[in-house]
Structure 1
């Protein structure tokens, strides 16, 4: 007993010494972080000793279990529309939300009670709340820009002659701005509903972090532990000693730059997923860490209901101080965010990344997601206005494909997948168009945000979807089959032998640009599958060629032959229909390639997490 008391007494002295050292050590000093950790460990040990000597604070729950702290951290609590940063504690049987209050020098920090919810019967539901007022978006953008510029000043002055006296208040100002950003920027909302009727809403900056909290809470709620009404004053007071998270995780408080962190552009191409137990509409969410000057989350569009979803969608991040990437696969039902099917963390190391695509397979629980990564280091510019997706309608198809990093534009693939999901038995599909206002509205969505467009498309009439696909091809500045091939293809129609005609037509098709050729082949294979259901949808190959022919093939100058002879408009339509009809009749159509090869010099690797 004497030994223990002596050790604790010495440890208290050590803690006091460490506190004094921290007060006189500049935040920029290389040993500052180590001193902080040493102080935390010593205080944690003392807390344990204190707690064990105060058995009156211990509470025994159902099945003989004792109330223990399982997790804590800083979250955004919303009350009457007002966001506040709070310290959340997850105990074995309840959630405790507190307000942290810094104490005056020489006194102990305190926590004030906000609310608590028993875990028994607690219901959780999360959604992505992207709808924020435009003025809030402007303020957040302005805040990020100010933080970026202030941090640059700090870096310059640390190296300059003005010294640490100048940087101390500026660093404090940077921390305050980051706290504001941490409070007002989160979009992932977690709603908590208790059987007693009490409800609370929390916001998280990261879906990965939200899912970790949800998993921890769900695990405890399934153990059916009854809550012993807590002594709130005692429980809240104990938070100071029991807490694991001392302060909000602010990147601006990091003392030194990590030479292994990334600064530049990180691109990730999400290809496909496998391992689903049943068909589902899923999307992939990607998050990166580092300073929050730029957007740190992005998602693919939601796939059609499938066991093996494909996206081939490229996401790009401006990163500053990034060290890890989080990947989540999420199922989506009725346009609402649903269940996180799996998640994983990738370590980002500059030595293992390059400007060439590197393909790898990431294990997300039972799922496997195939993706490619590349990294381009460069000096970062101040955060710009939110990047708007370039329009895709009335734009050359090769421009759209290049922007998306694919060989078949996403609007074509998404519409085709949706028609095949629920329109194959629709009588007159592609012949009967949807409502003009609905088509225009969905077109506008595709022009502004692919993910939102796909979500809206899921609930649109299938004839609206087919109408958007036809409109896309009709509004191309240059037809999908280049105009200079019009006369050559017209001449092939005079070849009587069908096999010879198709050989000649396929040879001409090979001369077209990669994007045009693969998109045309992708559409042809789809239309052939539609025609296989002609006994139900009443759409034969000839019907489909009649619908699409005039949109896919046009002469160089409407109404004129190359020698200046006027072509009858009816003859032109016949050529357009017959050319597409001939291609549809071919039994040797090549398979299309939908995405660019994300190849690299290294072999494909699998990351197991």
Structure 2
């Protein structure tokens, strides 16, 4: 029994086995002439048999008329099928009666096996037939083509619910299919052994039809009719959906009915294959557990592949054919046994400059097509124009899927074979990893597969019709987000041991913009703190995916990175008009986040990489405003990296890294802050500390504004310690928010460095001496401009009060040309030194307080 072959034969006879046109003109329009040859090798064109297309050359009225003809033909064939089931059941009553006599034709058990589930099938289709007939407005005493219903509502009635109800009961066929071979064996055995049964089985006559004709069947042929019917149900739904306009109320219902029917047929084929499958260790049979499209990276080339996960192995195939009426075929690429397979999350792949430009250009093209679709849909244009636009959009998305993935999963087998698969979504990549991990420990051995037979069977077993493309939805729902999704990742709790974590975010929808983000890795802590805000431009989004990622504590390869858990939040724009805080469970970790959605028209994505404003050498308030923070990312990331790896480094902040390395890191920050933050772990820690010092040195204005310098100098002369402290803290409080919070963040960081001075030899005084001249500057130093002179006599009085400190400053600081005299430097150092000695400094804020509504439980958003 080959159910799939029957399906393909039927598809070919109905001329719907594949896409009837190659659409090369669309390829050239979207990608340019040079891309046509490469695109025709992809798998999308091979899926025509599974994705019915609405005819593009028909007007809506003609399309609806043909839809009615399809429905009438369905009704006619349904009536014929019912007649065949009634004929099959005709001898059942007599055979049951004879089973209780002394000379039975068949035993009671044989009768039960022979007609198993047939009455239930008849009742299912009898109900469907009568309801469809009534819905079409046909009288029971007339044939479908003899009665023309009147009125627009009767001419094009909604019938999707009837088909959906019918396919939801296809499970009735499961028992019949499982019993089919046993029933056929009884027919063949008893036909040879029992003459009475042979007479019955070889000549069964149907009841008279409308033309008084009768059809002769064999019993075995009638038993095959339900198998033929369950195969054709999916194909009939294809045909009906193909002739149903997109705006018809039946379209979505028929899509769901087709999905259910296809899934049922896939399960039937899978079970049929499993009956012939080999037996693995522990009595298991080889079964298909998951499949989907991935990108196979080999020698730098990206190839779209269909990956099949079986109980004991991974099979990678190339899908060929399926266009212009040709049946789809799979070609073997590679396979890996699951036992002993090692999996590593590969590093995020950087796109070459030329590929990045092509990706940006493709996103711009997609955005333009999407805008045209919305405008045309609003104007109610014909299906032909809409269908061509959707095809262009699907081709663009498929190109992005193939050429622009960033996340890789490395597969290493004990035999030494290795392969790398890639996907644009870390969430989906983790789904694959989890599925493989759950199976690879269950088998101790793999039975060598018959690769030719196994690859051929993929046509029957495949469940994923093509890559997950947003354009395949072809609907614009009001609940989808189109605008800016703001996400603030606050903190996490629930860890059982200290760990360095980051939170990865992914919004779904069209990939016009980079709608993924990741927090910087936290310090090793039981309660990580991020307070990072992200703004994601989204179109068609309805969910936000979150993953918790654990990073190695030392400089190791990316193979030490581990995804701990993942979760998904369904987004309701009505609940996110203002900031709303919620808690998301990511395995054992509870992550606190805030969300806000702002709907607005989107601007086309730039065709060239966005030039980030510089980080170094600009006013800190300007930088903080650009980043939407109170403490710039460069300060937080560098300081936290020093705390991660440099607290025990001798001379940290006194011994700088190589000047060339520091300048290179500065350049990366000026180009891409997120990229620079991700690279810090691979750099020498003295390079990181040197970049932080360079940032403060190159600020146009010091953190403590120059106008406060003389007041600070005067406050240092106050003899009463409590009054002095109050005065100096008051001056700090009067500084701008960004300056104050950044200064406080740095002070707390330097205090943590000094706590390890027995190892790093950096006391509070040493740290004050290093940072004082950069953080507190007299007016004369500000941008090299002239300014009111500071009362040096006051400085001298202050300096004389602590000669040892003054001597230390003179020894540790040699002024460069244009810098102030050590007398002025002394004041700067003593100010920072005084702040560092305060044990009750206010805690800094990384973000401005959010204007949010009252906090809601997580289930109001999830």
Which stretch of the first structure deviates more once superposed, 476-485 or 578-587?
Answer: 578-587
- Please identify the structure whose Cα radius of gyration is greater: 2
Which stretch of the first structure deviates more once superposed, 52-61 or 131-140?
Answer: 52-61
- In 1, Cα distance between the equivalents of 2:336 and 2:646? 47
Counterpart of 2:580 (choices 355, 358, 374) is 358
- In 2, Cα distance between the equivalents of 1:161 and 1:570? 78
- In 1, Cα distance between the equivalents of 2:726 and 2:389? 72
Distance 1:193 1:546, change over 3 A: closer
Residues 44 and 241 in structure 1, CA contact (< 8 A), matched pair in contact too = no
Shift of 1:314: 1.7
- In 2, Cα distance between the equivalents of 1:590 and 1:43? 63
Corresponding position: 1:571 with 2:797: no
- In 2, Cα distance between the equivalents of 1:323 and 1:377? 13
- In 1, Cα distance between the equivalents of 2:834 and 2:268? 85
Q: CA RMSD in A?
A: 2.7
- In 1, Cα distance between the equivalents of 2:469 and 2:490? 33
Residues 29 and 255 in structure 1, CA contact (< 8 A), matched pair in contact too = no
The aligned counterpart of 1:440 is: 663
The aligned counterpart of 2:601 is: 379
Corresponding position: 1:209 with 2:421: no
Distance 1:16 1:105, change over 3 A: farther
Corresponding position: 1:370 with 2:592: yes
Residues 234 and 262 in structure 2, CA contact (< 8 A), matched pair in contact too = yes
- In 2, Cα distance between the equivalents of 1:35 and 1:237? 30
The aligned counterpart of 1:390 is: 613
The aligned counterpart of 1:541 is: 764
Distance 1:472 1:172, change over 3 A: same
CA-to-partner distance for each residue in 1:262-297, whole Å, 9 max, x for gaps?
Answer: 000112112222233333332221111111111132
Shift of 1:344: 0.7
Residues 480 and 552 in structure 1, CA contact (< 8 A), matched pair in contact too = yes
- Local SS of the residue matching 2:346: strand
Shift of 1:470: 1.7
Residues 148 and 293 in structure 1, CA contact (< 8 A), matched pair in contact too = yes
Distance 1:565 1:499, change over 3 A: closer
- In 1, Cα distance between the equivalents of 2:570 and 2:340? 37
- In 2, Cα distance between the equivalents of 1:409 and 1:221? 45
- In 2, Cα distance between the equivalents of 1:53 and 1:402? 63
- Local SS of the residue matching 1:128: coil
Residues 580-591 of structure 1 mapped to structure 2, 5 A cutoff: 580-591=832-843
Counterpart of 2:733 (choices 483, 499, 510) is 510
The aligned counterpart of 1:562 is: 788
Higher strand share: 1
- In 2, Cα distance between the equivalents of 1:448 and 1:431? 27
Shift of 1:142: 0.9
Corresponding position: 1:266 with 2:485: yes
Q: How many residues align?
A: 608
- In 2, Cα distance between the equivalents of 1:473 and 1:500? 29
- Local SS of the residue matching 2:502: strand
- In 1, Cα distance between the equivalents of 2:267 and 2:709? 83
Corresponding position: 1:416 with 2:639: yes
Shift of 1:51: 5.6
- In 1, Cα distance between the equivalents of 2:692 and 2:274? 70
Residues 150-165 of structure 1 mapped to structure 2, 5 A cutoff: 150-160=369-379, 162-165=381-384
What is the TM-score when the length of structure 1 is the normalising length? 0.92
- In 2, Cα distance between the equivalents of 1:485 and 1:471? 23
Distance 1:516 1:153, change over 3 A: same
- Local SS of the residue matching 2:490: strand
Counterpart of 1:116 (choices 311, 329, 335) is 335
Distance 1:15 1:211, change over 3 A: closer
Shift of 1:516: 1.3
Residues 302 and 451 in structure 1, CA contact (< 8 A), matched pair in contact too = no
Distance 1:117 1:552, change over 3 A: same
Shift of 1:364: 0.5
Shift of 1:166: 2.3
Corresponding position: 1:96 with 2:315: yes
- Local SS of the residue matching 2:532: strand
Distance 1:421 1:14, change over 3 A: closer
The aligned counterpart of 1:552 is: 775
Which structure has the higher relative contact order (CA within 8 Å, separation 6+)? 1
Shift of 1:603: 1.4
Corresponding position: 1:276 with 2:499: no
Distance 1:128 1:368, change over 3 A: same
Distance 1:482 1:216, change over 3 A: same
Shift of 1:33: 4.2
Counterpart of 1:401 (choices 608, 611, 624) is 624
The aligned counterpart of 2:194 is: none
Distance 1:584 1:165, change over 3 A: closer
- In 2, Cα distance between the equivalents of 1:186 and 1:100? 20
- In 1, Cα distance between the equivalents of 2:761 and 2:265? 80
Distance 1:535 1:158, change over 3 A: closer
Distance 1:130 1:390, change over 3 A: farther
The aligned counterpart of 2:437 is: 218
The aligned counterpart of 1:473 is: 696
Residues 123-138 of structure 1 mapped to structure 2, 5 A cutoff: 123-138=342-357
Distance 1:86 1:163, change over 3 A: same
What is the TM-score when the length of structure 2 is the normalising length? 0.66
